Amino acid sequence: MISLFLVLAIGTCLTNSFVPEKEKDAKYWRDQAQQTLKNALRLQKLNTNVAKNVIIFLGDGMGVSTVTAARILKGQLQHNPGEETSLEMDKFPYVALSKTYNTNAQVPDSAGTATAFLCGVKTNEGTIGVSAATQRSQCSTAKGNEVTSILHWAKDAGKSVGIVTTTRVNHATPSAAYAHSAEREWYSDNEMSPEALRQGCKDIAYQLMHNIKDIEVIMGGGRKYMFPKNRTDVEYEMDEKSRGTRLDGLNLIDTWKSFKPKHKHSHYVWNRTELLTLDPHTVDYLLGLFEPGDLQYELNRNNVTDPSLSEMVEVAVKILSKNPKGFFLLVEGGRIDHGHHESKAKLALHETVEMDRAIEKAGAMTSLEDTLTIVTADHSHVFTFGGYTPRGNSIFGLAPMVSDTDNKPFTAILYGNGPGYKVIGGERENIYKVDYAHSNYQAQAAVPLRYETHGGEDVAVFAKGPMAHLLHGVHEQNYIAHVMGYAACVGANQDHCASASSAGGPSPGPLLLLLTLLPLGTLF
């Protein structure tokens, strides 16, 4: 057993050794603050251009504590202490907070929240692309209560559109861009109730292929929901769980191909090699399904079969950028959420760092002058880190003390609930005896649950580019969709667009004037 004295001594040593010499000089901090002040003063000149392109990066489950921990991890992967590192999203000039509750839930789910930030309407948990008049799992209540998304508005305006995710392409977040469903788990007709099938509701995979037939880019997982029941998967021939699920006998890959014009170049790919050998400049439509279900975690990713999120984003932007009218792109780092649900913080945080690489890639390929980029989360998790850890402490490491109650150590990262709750011999597990740095280590939790839960606090919204200043305070989550529509002159708010096209940038318009003149909090 390591003594309390030794643990504290280690902590003291780390604290002293990880203070860079330049940071001991007060001038360093004054100069840094002055430069930040100068940068902030430049923001007085607002970017009121029309957003030719809109990209929204959605870190599923990426609460503020996840952002902070991922920032430290990014720095430590670069062999730095970590705390001083900047994520790409940290560099965005405008930051707001988003209130994530669903209409019937204090702590939300990803379906209701995705409907909010993509369709501009808050709704009940578990429902997709419908208003709160829809009852979960009740097929008949969805009819007449459908709401459309920013992807739909952009397509109607002649823009190219794309969806890139590390989950199934028919999972909660991406499906809100194109589907209308009373139940988020209706991935294929195999998961639907007999009553819902009798009433004529369609599963989400079916809707992906039929609702908006000309989505230019779709990439993620979810192959098995596209094929007939028990059809063998191209990659996992012996795995029964990877086989096709559809009861209607449809091959939705063939359906997707049949809807594409003969004179256009359409490509279906199922592995990384096929994706990266494509010439994006000759591709008009791309469907990439790289796993039967969700993609592998970034730490476990097979470099032969599964592309990284940043690789998918690079290909997507190249394809979509060919449209002179611009594009809308939804990018989801979806497995951040899954890592947290499993209480495997190492998996979740590496997913977040990879999404930040994708944000950097997209930023290098687009311009601040004509591209609105938003980074946000749908909800948080009951994930935290603390324990008075010293500067440069491994984000996956121990706190520099033991409990003053049971005299056992604890990691800086903890969960409020989840599968990491363990009692051995009537006492809390002694983590000196386990490999708490392992990728699959489940951090200790206060309450035992098979799956850790979401958190209910506000999440951050980072924005840059045209009209990014409209994200400026504490907002309802559904407001995000309206900002994207206003900035791009798609959807409902187009009163300012005529002057924008003639003058090279939009006049303030009623919405912007209202936001400028009223005190913060009057509207939201």
Q: What is the DSSP secondary structure assignment for residue 182, as one 8-state letter?
A: S
Do residue 197 and residue 258 come from a single domain? Answer: yes
Contact indicator for 188, 168 with CB cutoff of 8 Å: no
> What are the DSSP calls for 435-449, one per residue?
-TTSTT----EEEE-
| Mean pLDDT, the chain, whole residue set | 92
pLDDT above 80: residue 18: no
Do residue 307 and residue 427 come from a single domain? Answer: no
**Residue 313 vs residue 1, higher pLDDT:** 313
Strand duo 285-289 + 217-221: pairing: parallel
For residue 319, give both structure tokens.
């394809």
Do residue 353 and residue 472 come from a single domain? Answer: yes
pLDDT of residue 505: 45
Do residue 339 and residue 194 come from a single domain? Answer: yes
**Dihedral sign from CA coordinates of 483, 484, 489, 493:** negative
Q: Is 171 annotated as a binding residue?
A: yes
Q: Is residue 510 part of a domain?
A: no
d(CA 416, CA 371): 38
Residue ending a domain, choose from 415, 433, 448: 448
Q: Is residue 24 part of a domain?
A: no
Could you list the residue range(s) of the whole structural domain that residue 404 is in?
398-448
Contact indicator for 299, 347 with CB cutoff of 8 Å: yes
Query: With bands split at pLDDT 50, 70 and 90, how would you rate the model's confidence at 43?
Result: confident
Contact indicator for 292, 205 with CB cutoff of 8 Å: no
- Express each pLDDT in 111-140 by its tens digit: 999 999 999 999 999 999 999 999 999 999
Query: With bands split at pLDDT 50, 70 and 90, how would you rate the model's confidence at 523?
Result: very low
Query: With bands split at pLDDT 50, 70 and 90, how would you rate the model's confidence at 497?
Result: confident
Q: Is 165 annotated as a binding residue?
A: no
pLDDT above 90: residue 40: no
pLDDT above 80: residue 1: no
Q: Is residue 36 part of a domain?
A: no
Domain count, the chain: 2
Q: Is residue 34 part of a domain?
A: no
Give the three-state DSSP class for 112: helix
19 burial (CB, 10 Å; 0-12 / 13-18 / 19+) is middle
Q: Is residue 86 part of a domain?
A: yes
Of the candidates 337, 346, 475, the one whose C-alpha atom is nearest the C-alpha of residue 58 is 337
Q: Is 60 annotated as a binding residue?
A: yes
b/e map 476-514, b = 16+ CB within 10 Å: bbbbbbbbbbbbbbbbebbebbeebeeeebbeebebbee
Do residue 310 and residue 271 come from a single domain? Answer: yes
For residue 133, give both structure tokens.
């008049």
Q: How many residues does the chain have?
A: 524
**Residue 8 vs residue 165, higher pLDDT:** 165
Q: Is 378 annotated as a binding residue?
A: yes
Contact indicator for 144, 104 with CB cutoff of 8 Å: no
Q: Is 294 annotated as a binding residue?
A: no
pLDDT of residue 500: 61
Do residue 293 and residue 223 come from a single domain? Answer: yes
| Chain-centre distance for alpha carbon 50 | 25
Query: With bands split at pLDDT 50, 70 and 90, how would you rate the model's confidence at 494?
Result: confident
Using CA atoms, how far residue 416 sits from 58, 176, 339, 341, 430, in Å, is 23, 29, 15, 11, 18
d(CA 180, CA 405): 52
pLDDT of residue 176: 98
Do residue 405 and residue 288 come from a single domain? Answer: no
For residue 150, give both structure tokens.
């920013």
Q: Is residue 506 part of a domain?
A: no
Do residue 476 and residue 430 come from a single domain? Answer: no
Query: With bands split at pLDDT 50, 70 and 90, how would you rate the model's confidence at 14?
Result: very low
Residue ending a domain, choose from 410, 433, 448: 448
Do residue 407 and residue 267 come from a single domain? Answer: no
Do residue 327 and residue 415 come from a single domain? Answer: no
Q: What is the DSSP secondary structure assignment for residue 256, as one 8-state letter?
A: H
- Express each pLDDT in 237-247 by its tens digit: 999 999 999 99
Mean pLDDT of 169-174: 98
- Express each pLDDT in 278-294 by its tens digit: 999 999 999 999 999 99
**What's the CATH number where 345 sits?**
3.40.720.10
Q: Is residue 43 part of a domain?
A: no
Query: With bands split at pLDDT 50, 70 and 90, how would you rate the model's confidence at 197?
Result: very high
> What are the DSSP calls for 357-390, one per residue?
HHHHHHHHHS-TTTEEEEEEES-EESEEE-S-PP
Percentage of the chain lying above the pLDDT 70 cut: 92
Of the candidates 470, 481, 486, 457, the one whose C-alpha atom is nearest the C-alpha of residue 523 is 470
Q: Is 454 annotated as a binding residue?
A: yes
Percentage of the chain lying above the pLDDT 90 cut: 85
Of 8-22, 194-208, 278-292, 506-520, the poorest mean pLDDT is in 506-520
- Express each pLDDT in 396-419 by its tens digit: 999 999 999 999 999 999 999 999
For residue 266, what is the enclosing H or E element? strand 266-269
For residue 168, what is the enclosing H or E element? strand 160-168
Using CA atoms, how far residue 250 sits from 149, 185, 421, 473, in Å, is 26, 19, 44, 47
215 burial (CB, 10 Å; 0-12 / 13-18 / 19+) is buried
pLDDT of residue 357: 98
The residues annotated as belonging to the active site are: 110
CA atoms within 13 A on the CB side of 6: 4
Q: Is 341 annotated as a binding residue?
A: yes
**Max Cα–Cα distance, the chain, nearest Å:** 75
Do residue 441 and residue 468 come from a single domain? Answer: no
pLDDT of residue 87: 98
- Express each pLDDT in 145-161 by its tens digit: 999 999 999 999 999 99
| Chain-centre distance for alpha carbon 120 | 17
pLDDT of residue 9: 43
| Chain-centre distance for alpha carbon 156 | 24
Do residue 134 and residue 234 come from a single domain? Answer: yes
Strand duo 380-381 + 454-455: pairing: antiparallel
Contacts 24+ apart (CB under 8 A), 502-505: 504/49, 505/48, 505/49, 505/50
Q: What angle do CA 441, 444, 447 make, to 5 degrees?
A: 135
Q: Is residue 344 part of a domain?
A: yes
Of the candidates 477, 217, 207, 197, the one whose C-alpha atom is nearest the C-alpha of residue 323 is 217
- Express each pLDDT in 352-411 by its tens digit: 999 999 999 999 999 999 999 999 999 999 999 999 999 999 999 999 999 999 999 999
b/e map 261-280, b = 16+ CB within 10 Å: eeeeebbbbbbbeebeebeb
